[in-house]
Structure 1
Amino acid sequence: MRAVPGLGGPLTAEFEVGYVGAEGSEVRTSLIDSAGVLFELVKPVRGFPSYKRQRNFPGLWWSSTTGAHVGYESWLERDHLMLLDFDPAVAGIASQPFWLFWDDEASGRRRSHAPDYFARLADGRGLVVDCRPVDRIKPRDAAAFAVTGRACELVGWEYRLVGAPELVMVRNVRWLAGYRHPRYRLPAVGAALREVFAEPAQLMDGAGAAGEPIAVLPVLFHLLWCGELACDLGVRLHEATIVTTAGAC
């Protein structure tokens, strides 16, 4: 066994990856050989149990990116899953995509870690995400995250360890997420909105100019979710928010 380069600790570079194969059985392979696996399509390596007096809140998120449900184990994970779903650079998402195995020389034991998400980016690159509040990262967890980051680096994947997202941003995106389903894509209303917002305008003024607001607003929010319309989501979304056209959904 050899030490992981750059970590300066007692961890080893003998990484192994386990995931659920097409037939539903576990597949074990080397880290290098796993680089070509389409992890955005695999099933979770573990479930999302729900039980009485549970401290976390697991569930399923319907992803507009994949057209399917993706699991989460906490509200923090849900928020970051939502942000991945909202990100136009993300083309695919899977939760608990694989187990990463390595030998911990400090304890003499085999360790494992299942990252929270794997995302396939539109340019083909891989992104691995772990979600954990900064004040809840214990030394053992920090070591696992560091090893996971190093493993991702070795195969060319980006690795992110994320905590609580910016509050206003996540609340705005959560509102727009309520309109992420394609049933809100009404071509005639969408065309009217794109024409109205070809020049920046206030949200409610533009909605009124495009038609009856009660019918127009769901489509407007859908186009904001898709990225066909844009606004500053770093400040609270309200009736005077300036909206303009952006790229295609």
Structure 2
Amino acid sequence: MDVREVSAEDVELEYVPAAGVRERGSLGRLWSVRFESVRPERQFPAFRGQGNWCGWYWSATCGGHVGYESWLERDRLMLLDFDPLVTGMASQPFRLSWARADGKQVRHTPDFFVRRSDGTGLVVDVRPDERIEPDDAAKFAVTAAACRSVGWDFVRVGTPDAVLMANVRWLAGYRNPRVHRPEVAARLLEAFADGGGLLAGARRVGDQIAVLPVLFHLLWRRVLAVDLEAGLLSAGTRVRLAMPREGGQDAVASAAVASG
């Protein structure tokens, strides 16, 4: 298929809604479905001798579990969960199919569908650069064209920056709202009003064992901010108040955050 000629009517979409009855139709007819709330196309089994690592990630954004089929997908889920512009996401949300020029049917199931705060959709495929074969590249190209035809964005992402990912993994351990303590949070905002070292600011507020979890939770929520790519979080990391909507300013910010 010439990607320049892909239309939403050329691509069939199959998905399983929350009710559990599979539905199918053209992308042009079904694009408005809330795909961030559908069931995954595939299961995420775990068994002895398994070559990849499947599992379920608890998303603070969704308030529930989202499946993944590899550690890399899990990391990308964390980055999406960390993105303040993401309001919902689903894994293996639907299956796309289309006919090649030779008549052969091609199928492709994207890894994630993401809903952003402005209502727009983002389709994400996770694949390292070194693992993209010609057939994969062709599938990604058609998927991108199909997404454009209905106003969605598409991004194919690989391995994120190692330092960024290590820091986000650490902060993700404090993502659950139960970590939040409003009175401690208020004092932390005062302590870092003019910026300062992470541990020194925490000690000004109180016992660091009680204060640091709240500090890391505020960093996860982007209420406080640090440079997550400058180095691993440490006692001397400089913490400041975050700017409004830090982490992205436009409709494709989720794609930028996803790609590190």
The yes-or-no answer on 1:183 pairing with 2:178 is: yes
Unaligned ranges ≥5, structure 1: none
8 Å CA contact 1:134–1:163 kept in 2: the answer is: yes
8 Å CA contact 2:87–2:116 kept in 1: the answer is: yes
Q: 2:191 maps to what in 1?
A: 196
The yes-or-no answer on 1:63 pairing with 2:59 is: yes
The yes-or-no answer on 1:130 pairing with 2:116 is: no
Q: 2:18, 2:48 → 1: CA distance? A: 33
Q: 1:239 maps to what in 2?
A: 235
Q: Following TM superposition, by how much is the alpha carbon of 1:45 offset from its aligned partner in structure 2, in angstroms? A: 1.1
Q: 1:120 maps to what in 2?
A: 115
8 Å CA contact 2:38–2:93 kept in 1: the answer is: yes
Q: Following TM superposition, by how much is the alpha carbon of 1:28 offset from its aligned partner in structure 2, in angstroms? A: 0.3
**Counterparts of residues 211-226 of structure 1 (less than 5 Å):** 211-226=206-221
The yes-or-no answer on 1:53 pairing with 2:61 is: no
Q: Partner letter of residue 148 of structure 1?
A: T
Pick 1 or 2: higher relative contact order, CA cutoff 8 A, min separation 6: 2
What is the aligned-residue identity percentage? 52
Q: 1:105, 1:131 → 2: CA distance? A: 26
Aligned residues: 244
| Corresponding residue SS for 1:85 | helix
Q: Following TM superposition, by how much is the alpha carbon of 1:183 offset from its aligned partner in structure 2, in angstroms? A: 0.9
8 Å CA contact 1:12–1:104 kept in 2: the answer is: no
Deviations 1:25-47 (A, max 9, x none): 11102111222110001110111
Q: 2:252 maps to what in 1?
A: none
Q: Following TM superposition, by how much is the alpha carbon of 1:61 offset from its aligned partner in structure 2, in angstroms? A: 0.2
Q: TM (normalized to structure 1)?
A: 0.94
The yes-or-no answer on 1:75 pairing with 2:32 is: no
Q: 1:147 aligns with which of 122, 142, 147?
A: 142
Q: 1:17 maps to what in 2?
A: 13
8 Å CA contact 1:12–1:102 kept in 2: the answer is: no
| Corresponding residue SS for 1:174 | helix
Deviations 1:147-182 (A, max 9, x none): 111111111111010000000000000000000001
Q: Following TM superposition, by how much is the alpha carbon of 1:216 offset from its aligned partner in structure 2, in angstroms? A: 0.2
| Corresponding residue SS for 1:6 | helix
8 Å CA contact 1:17–1:29 kept in 2: the answer is: yes
Which segments of structure 1 move beyond 6 Å, counting only runs of 4 or more?
A: none
8 Å CA contact 2:3–2:142 kept in 1: the answer is: no
8 Å CA contact 2:9–2:27 kept in 1: the answer is: no
Q: Following TM superposition, by how much is the alpha carbon of 1:54 offset from its aligned partner in structure 2, in angstroms? A: 1.4
Q: Partner letter of residue 125 of structure 2?
A: D
Q: Partner letter of residue 14 of structure 1?
A: D
Q: 1:140, 1:246 → 2: CA distance? A: 43
Q: 1:110, 1:190 → 2: CA distance? A: 55
Q: Partner letter of residue 125 of structure 1?
A: T
RMSD of Structure 2 on Structure 1 (CA): 1.8
Q: TM (normalized to structure 2)?
A: 0.90
Change (3 A) 1:174 1:60: same
